[in-house]
Amino acid sequence: MAELDRSKRARPAPALAPLDDAEIEAKSQTYAAAQPFPHVVLRPAIDDDELRAARREAVHELRADYKETDLFKVYQVPQDLGTIERAAPDLAQKAPALLRVRDALYAPRTRALVEKVTGCGAIDPDKMDLSANVYAKGGHLLCHDDVIGSRLVSFVLYLVDEDWGEPDGGAFELYAKGDDGEPEPRPCARLYCAWNS
């Protein structure tokens, strides 16, 4: 099955938009200086045409189940996209562009870029995971610290409509810690979601 999967994805994985040494250094400085926690935005992240194809596949081929807890209200794709060829081979066959984007995110070149920008140390490709979520109107993921086991870096790749803007919502909000160690009641920074960022 692996050979069939690879042949269907025959085109090489799209690379993250290339950055020269000066751009990497600028992103690294932005990351280190960002408040209240280190963060940076890469835009554009992936080739637009490839990402459009991946978005079409995600919308038309993936099934997302409604999940609600005290932390989130979201539609979540049940398969880890990192292992989808083994977990759901029939579904993987229907999403070659999505898997090419995944492969680009998992690629050694991408890991090296993230390692340089963040200074996080070596990223183990066997400890990477990738999920897909849909936030409908009223959907949310509440404030949390994202500290999970040995996680070095978290990322979000937005597949929103290309004309999505600030009024459409979906901001990624960052909260500073108060003196008591708890998050402040209001965000101190907002990253507005935008296509391919």
Segment 151-186, tens digit of pLDDT: 888 888 999 999 999 999 889 999 999 999 899 999
pLDDT at 5 over 50: no
Q: How far is CA 193 from CA 20, 39, 167, in A?
A: 25, 14, 10
Q: What is the mean pLDDT of residues 61-83?
A: 92
Number of residues in the chain? 197
pLDDT at 140 over 90: no
pLDDT at 2 over 70: no
SS3 6: helix
How far is Cα 116 from Cα 62, in angstroms, rounded to an integer? Answer: 33
The pTM (predicted TM-score) of the whole model is: 0.84
Q: What are phi and psi of 183, to 5 degrees?
A: -65, 145
Q: What is the DSSP letter of 144?
A: -
